[in-house]
Amino acid sequence: MTGKPRRVVVTSPRTAAARRPRHPLTREIDEQTRLGEVYMRSLVRTQFRLALFVCTLLACLVGGLPLLFLLVPDLRSAQLLGLPLPWVVLAGLIYPAFIAGAWLYVWQAERNERDFADLVERQ
Amino acid sequence: MSIAAVVVVVLAAILIGAFGIRMSRTTSDFYVASRTVSPLWNASAIGGEYLSAASFLGIAGLLITYGADMLWLPVGWTGGYLVLLVLVSAPLRRSGAYTLPDFAEARLESMAVRRASSVLVVLIGWFYLMPQFQSAGLVFRTITGAPEWAGGLVVAGVVAANVLSGGMRSITFVQAFQYWLKLTALAVPLVFMLLAWRSDGFPGLPPGDPWALPLHGREHPLYETYSLILATFLGTMGLPHVLVRFYTNPDGRAARRTTLVVLTLLGAFYLMPAIYGYLGRVYGLPATDTVVLTLPGRLVGGVGGELLTALITAGAFAAFLSTSSGLTVSVAGVIAQDILRGGVRSFRVATVLAVVVPFALAGTARSLPVATVVGLAFAVAASSFCPLLVLGIWWRRLTTVGAMSGLLLGGGLACAAVLATITGGPDTGWMGALLSQPAAWTVPISFAVMVVVSLLTPSRVPAGVARTMVRLHTPERLNVDRGDWRPRSL
């Protein structure tokens, strides 16, 4: 019990601190620094890829149907549940397909925005 | 009885208009209203304004004339909202633009592009209004025997009076009610007609009737089908009266959700015209735009049939009035602000211009099926505003010169084709197909011109494009600098 307690060096890996930028990210975006631009471009690109994906699916469905009817003439007069197949598809089934596509898009687009906002605000 | 229905609808419109006098219609009112309007109400209002005579009467008429290929028309008019949803809805709301010229000005920072957009908005609005008036004339003649211009005059007069008094438009709930009225006015008679069809033992088409087959009934069915698909899927986003409603959403996220609900409401509505067309063909009704009106009398008959016809007539006039007033307000606003000097006096002159020109056109142009002419308005929108919006929102390198050349060339060519078609251009052969369904060539031209000219003029990229991109794409919860551009209020 004699003497001073032994000195202990307290250190920290400071990993989080080392990665923290000097400004909040919103300021990087406001000042249009290169970092802010990188973040903005990544947001726009993510949303654009999603939009393009939905549009491509839509184009395949909508653009493919007339082609299918052209190339496979039997489909034009085919019957489904006693109704002409083209009518079942074009006057019925295609609408729920649109709504399902729209619903999935909204879900994913909101998620992308949430991720972006979390990323920017976490810093 | 149908006359009574028309009187009731017209009186209701006038009363609502008179009641709304004290409601001012400034952009900030829309903004305030937006805090209380839910996506369902907002979507109903968009549906109420969007479902015009072409949807209510025109689709069934064209189906009987041309057969299954015309099913693409309602599919495109619904699917257009899916394209609008994924490419345009949230960024457009975030832009804060109140009209298409506003968006052009905000994105391209150019008054010249703004003015070109204004001219196109006016032309699209007139092309869209003209068949509404013609159709009103046709319906009015069918129920009263009055000359064809009389019905158009009634609708034009009521719309002009309402817009001049400042009512009608600002009330989201009225437009929302119009959607449910139109839905009911088609759905209730349909139920009774299906019952009558059942008691007749489900008569069908004669076996081997080519009418029900796709790619049949027109000269160049494949080209015309694809052109129709392009015009309707891409044209929806460029309609002047649809865009204003997006401003009523509180933020970009609500704009997306509203669009999703619009898609659902339209899908529900568009299930019905196809059945009307099918039944009309089965019972051998003549192929005109009035088939929807005459069908209940034919199938149900008696007092019941008359009541149902009256209900459909009321729905048809609601369609004429709601679409026409939405379009008139949009067109008059643009004329007053961008072509005249602005202010209340200009707005009055502009309203008269917005109604009189299409009314005069309706009298002089040859009478084509209403859905065909509305389809032409979609083609102009698809070849001008679709590229402007899509490239403006997603492509930083769009330049003022590029946007301007695309608008002028794409929109100009499409307008020329429309004018040739409605004044009596060639109906047959490739020339007829190219002019009556121009979208398949004008849309690619417009996109290509905008991209190529933009790449050739890199020095004309708007200075504030980075800030605009932040404004268009960042979610509202982030506190970032979005620039200080505001739409000029009327």
* A105 domain-assigned: yes
Lowest mean per-residue pLDDT among A25-29, B204-208, B462-466, B480-484: B204-208
Q: Kindly determine whether residue B253 and residue A43, on different chains, have CB atoms separated by under 8 Å.
A: no
Chain B nearest-CA residue for A55 = B83
The Cα B464–Cα B469 span in angstroms is: 9
The Cα B263–Cα B250 span in angstroms is: 19
The Cα B98–Cα B92 span in angstroms is: 9
Minimal CA–CA distance to B175: which of B250, B267, B262, B276? B262
Q: Cβ(B454)–Cβ(B398) under 8 Å?
A: yes
Q: Which residues are CB-contacts of A11 (< 8 A; sequence separation ≥ 6)?
A: none
Residue B444 with chain A: CB contacts under 8 Å: none
Lowest mean per-residue pLDDT among B17-26, B234-243, B358-367, B376-385: B17-26
* A15 domain-assigned: no
pLDDT at A109 over 90: yes
Chain A closest CA to B84's CA: distance in Å?
10
Looking at the partner chain, which of B68, B72, B259 has a beta carbon nearest the beta carbon of A87? B68
* A103 domain-assigned: yes
* A52 domain-assigned: yes
The Cα B450–Cα B402 span in angstroms is: 4
Looking at the partner chain, which of A66, A95, A110 has a beta carbon nearest the beta carbon of B271? A95
pLDDT at A46 over 60: yes
Q: Cβ(B101)–Cβ(B338) under 8 Å?
A: yes
Query: What backbone torsions phi and psi does residue A84 show, to the nearest 5 degrees?
Result: -60, 135
* A6 domain-assigned: no
The residue with greater pLDDT, B14 or B43, is B43
pLDDT tens figures, A58-83: 999 999 999 999 999 888 888 887 78
The Cα B309–Cα B127 span in angstroms is: 28
Q: Which residues are CB-contacts of B188 (< 8 A; sequence separation ≥ 6)?
A: B308, B311
Q: What is the DSSP string of B17-81?
A: HHHGGGS---HHHHHHHHTT--HHHHHHHHHHHH--HIIIIIHHHHHHHH-GGGGHHHHHHHHHH
Q: Which residues are CB-contacts of B315 (< 8 A; sequence separation ≥ 6)?
A: B56, B181, B182, B184, B185, B186
Within B200-251, where are the H helices?
221-235, 240-246
Minimal CA–CA distance to B385: which of B158, B4, B15, B87? B87
* A9 domain-assigned: no
* A65 domain-assigned: yes
Residue B259 with chain A: CB contacts under 8 Å: 102
* A13 domain-assigned: no
The Cα B357–Cα B362 span in angstroms is: 9
Q: Which pLDDT band, with edges at 50, 70 and 90, does A17 fall under?
A: low
Looking at the partner chain, which of B90, B229, B267 has a beta carbon nearest the beta carbon of A99? B267
Q: Which domain holds residue A29?
A: 24-122
Number of domains within chain A: 1
Q: Cβ(B45)–Cβ(B326) under 8 Å?
A: no
Domains recognised in chain B with CATH numbers: 2-367 (1.20.1730.10)
Average pLDDT over residues B240-251: 82
